[in-house]
Amino acid sequence: MAWPRRNKYHARRCEADGYRFDSLKERARYTVLKAQQEAGTITGLAVHPSFELLYTKTTRACYVHYVADFLYDDANGWRVIEDVKGVKTAMYRLKKRMMKEIYDVDVVEV
């Protein structure tokens, strides 16, 4: 009998409203944002939006993208890109810096 594979950071995957979340914390944040959208505090809630960070078309193609947890417009009309973090890996820190350089946006960590 094989044991189910566990997450390296002890996060448990889960679902809500047809979306798959990497952790219970991320799902909890989704329920808060969904309630805020229904109340009219935020608009345009998107789950797991993807951003292209690097693409080269040479003999060795390289494609790097960043998938944020949430994207929405706040009450002031500002676009917010949010990421629910437990552990900030080196790859995440690199992609966050690339988001700032390419798109000039700060990723908000919850």
Helix (H, G, I), strand (E, B) or coil at 3: coil
Q: Distance between CA atoms of 89 and 95, rounded to whole angstroms?
A: 10
Q: Distance between CA atoms of 2 and 61, rounded to whole angstroms?
A: 37
Q: What is the mean pLDDT of the chain?
A: 90
In this prediction, residues 37-64 reach a mean pLDDT of: 87
In this prediction, residues 18-42 reach a mean pLDDT of: 95
pTM (predicted TM-score): 0.85
Q: What are phi and psi of 95, to 5 degrees?
A: -65, -35
Q: pLDDT value at position 3?
A: 61
- Does 8 have pLDDT greater than 80? no
Alpha helices in 22-61 (DSSP H): 24-39
CB 83 within 8 A of CB 26: no
In this prediction, residues 77-105 reach a mean pLDDT of: 93
- Does 38 have pLDDT greater than 80? yes
The residue type of 52 is E
